[in-house]
């Protein structure tokens, strides 16, 4: 084996390792489904001035999403053999850092009068736009496209604030569901490939 062949062989191994990333797309899929229902329904309840039901819906949706993420993350831990744990670790930092900042802003922004309370969903639209774009830079172009779409939807919601839930629900929902499902499909393909390689050894 000459030097060029050895280098190409090593490069192919490195490339395969870098491709073995489990973005755990199921998180964004179930959150996308929740937001797809939550935001438009919340907007409708706000229109009816049913603020108690609106708050209950928000709290219930957040708890449901959090519980699903916690349970499913435990079940999916280590599901992809040979996973690039460095990149997966970077993704975790992106997710927790972005969502943590969003939670802080949710409390601080309305309190300081920077935004009005009813406009917090727009803030979360921007948070998710940033989150999707950053995941896309690390992981997959699908998330970059989703991030841009969510960002544009958030801008539209700023101009049409009375209808923000009707705008952000579909944009954020589908913007998370589509790349999340594609990420899950990639993991399934990698798992099938791993099983096939194991069967041929």
- Look over the chain and give the mean of its residue pLDDT values, rounded to a whole number: 88
Question: Cα 177–180–181 angle (5° rounding)?
Answer: 85
- The reported pLDDT for the residue numbered 26 is 93
The predicted structure's pLDDT at residue 1: 54
Cα 14–chain centre separation: 26
- pLDDT tens digits along 152-168: 999 999 999 999 999 99
Please write the tens of the pLDDT for every residue from 7-62.
Answer: 444 444 444 444 678 888 999 999 999 999 999 999 999 999 999 999 999 999 99
User: CA 161 → CA 52, 58, 115, 166, distances in Å?
Assistant: 20, 18, 12, 10
pLDDT value for 16: 44
Sign, CA dihedral 154-155-158-161, equals negative
pLDDT at 135 over 60: yes
CA torsion 102→104→106→112, rounded to 10°? -130
Q: What is the pLDDT of residue 13?
A: 40
Q: Give the model's pLDDT for residue 90.
A: 87
> Which residues have C-beta within 8 Å of that of residue 111, sequence separation ≥ 6?
none
Distances (CA, A) of 28 to 35, 107, 149: 10, 23, 15
71-121 pLDDT, tens digit each = 999 988 878 887 888 888 888 899 999 999 999 999 999 999 999 989 999
So what's the pLDDT on residue 19?
Answer: 64
């Amino acid at each position: 084996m000459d030097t060029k062949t050895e280098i190409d062989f090593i490069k192919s191994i490195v490339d395969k390792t870098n491709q073995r990333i489990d973005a755990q797309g199921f998180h964004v899929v179930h959150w996308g489904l929740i937001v797809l229902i939550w935001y438009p329904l919340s907007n409708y309840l706000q229109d009816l001035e049913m603020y108690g039901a609106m708050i209950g819906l928000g709290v219930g949706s957040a708890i449901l999403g959090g519980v699903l993420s916690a349970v499913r993350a435990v079940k999916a831990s280590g599901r992809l053999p040979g996973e690039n744990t460095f990149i997966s670790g970077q993704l975790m930092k992106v997710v927790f850092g972005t969502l943590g900042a969003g939670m802080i802003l949710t409390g601080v922004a309305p309190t300081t009068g920077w935004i009005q309370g009813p406009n917090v969903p727009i803030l979360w639209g921007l948070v998710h736009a940033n989150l999707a774009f950053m995941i896309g830079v690390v992981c997959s172009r699908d998330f970059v496209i989703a991030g841009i779409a969510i960002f544009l939807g958030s801008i539209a919601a700023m101009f049409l604030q009375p209808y923000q839930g009707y705008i952000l629900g579909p944009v954020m929902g589908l913007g998370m569901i589509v790349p999340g499902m594609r990420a899950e499909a990639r993991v399934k393909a990698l798992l099938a490939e791993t099983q096939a390689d194991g069967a041929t050894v």
